[in-house]
Amino acid sequence: MNNAIVDYKEESYIFFSIGTFNYAFSAKYVLDIMQLVELEYPESMPDFITGLLEYNNQIIKIIDIRNILKLEAAPYNLNSKIIIVKTKNDVFGIIIDDVKEIRRINTLSMNIPPYDTEKSYLEAIYTDKEFSVTILNLENIERKINSPYSFTGDSKNSAATFLPKDTASKETLHRRRLHYARKTKEVTNEIIKSQDTYITFILDNNTCCIKILHVAGFYKFLNVKLTKVPCTPDFIVGIVSIKGRYITVIDLLKYTENRNVEITKETSIIVVEYEDYEIGIIADAIGETIDIAENLVNYKQDSITSCLNECVINNSIYLFLDIKKLFGDEKLYVS
């Protein structure tokens, strides 16, 4: 038996930035990703608590992870994000600067620090050719924020002082909170997963969007080795082996419009997952992470037959990838 296969253990991790630092933790903890909203601060609380938020009929703590990690304090802004997480014993939110991606990584390739991490907030270091990231231990962070010895109550050093204070920003945070409350009013018994956070990609000069939690990774087309499969539709480019997984790669432009994508150094493969299945789609280039309010997504009626649905938001045209419709096509699967 191949020991490399036996020892291989892969998990999805969410990568995000705080200032100039990159961090990650297992995506299994993530319940929601939202824009910074108005928070309550009814009384003196520990320095690392930025405020309180009503989430799914319960009041949860929103923490400043920089305070816990002893990073230099910095003001939040309207582009800051909140990741809502669920650990074994608690639900809480973490304010971060930006979500980078969700990527599958081999946990056995992580580097364990040369000291006892049983009570540390640092779990491991992961490094690849592009960057290095610190893996956080959320269970230990949860124990920290719920410890009876963590209370300091010094309002001068409170993380709440770093929230935007100008009138325009406060009004924006208030509107976001009202919108979020309306959005979740009828789904309080469901786990909401990043309904407003999307990754954009370019396809034939069009800006396309896909929900971030359906994205398992990005790979430069020229850096992977594709294996052609005979007797398959012409939009199936081939099969690629990525970290032990064999994934069918399709030319999305050929699939939707019967035109071949032009391969350049920016051409990328986006690994998309839905339920227990994965497919690689070819994109001209990867864009950025954006937040789009769910109530603004109104599809044009003449586009609903395609897996790319046209939508106009703030006078800009986007194509939203319909994951369910794409994965429902049996022609995509190579046996």
Verify that 7 and 152 share a domain, yes or no: yes
pLDDT of amino acid 93:
95
Q: Over the chain, what is the mean pLDDT?
A: 80
Are 117 and 212 members of one domain? no
Judged on CB neighbours under 10 Å (0-12, 13-18, 19+), 34 is: buried
Distances (CA, A) of 225 to 94, 106, 244, 246, 250: 38, 19, 13, 11, 14
Domain membership of residue 236 as a residue range: 197-332
135 in a domain, yes or no?
yes
Is residue 297 assigned to a domain?
A: yes
Helix (H, G, I), strand (E, B) or coil at 69: helix
Grade residue 6 by pLDDT with cuts at 50, 70 and 90.
Answer: very low
Q: Is residue 206 part of a domain?
A: yes
**Residue-level pLDDT at 189:** 33
Judge if 271 and 150 occupy the same domain: no
Closest CA to 80 of 39, 44, 46: 39
Rounded mean pLDDT of 9-16?
81
Out of 33-37, 73-77, 201-205, 212-216, least confident range: 212-216
* Average pLDDT of the segment spanning 86-96: 92
Which of 130, 160, 184 is the endpoint of a domain? Answer: 184
pLDDT higher than 60, residue 190: no
pLDDT at residue 248 greater than cutoff 70:
yes
CATH number of the domain bearing residue 239:
2.40.50.180
| Spatial CA neighbour of 103 closest among 204, 187, 195, 26 | 26
Mean pLDDT of 90-115: 84
Total-model pTM: 0.57
Map residue 120 onto helix, strand or coil.
coil
pLDDT higher than 80, residue 195: no
Residues 6+ apart with CB under 8 A from 251: 235, 236, 237, 260, 261, 282
pLDDT of residue 3 exceeding 60: no
**Whether residues 131 and 203 fall in one domain:** no
One domain, residues 207 and 301: yes
Which one of 6-20, 105-119, 310-324 scores highest in mean pLDDT?
310-324
Task: Let me know whether 130 and 53 are in one domain.
Answer: yes
172 and 92 housed in the same domain: yes
Q: Is the pLDDT of residue 52 over 90?
A: yes
Residue 189 lies in a domain: no
Residue 220 in domain: yes
Q: Does residue 145 share a domain with residue 36?
A: yes
| Among 184, 211, 243, residue at a domain's last position | 184
Residue 232: inside a domain: yes
Domains in the chain: how many in total?
2
**Residues 132, 237: one domain?**
no
Three-state DSSP at 188 gives coil
Q: Which of 184, 210, 242 is the last residue of a domain?
A: 184
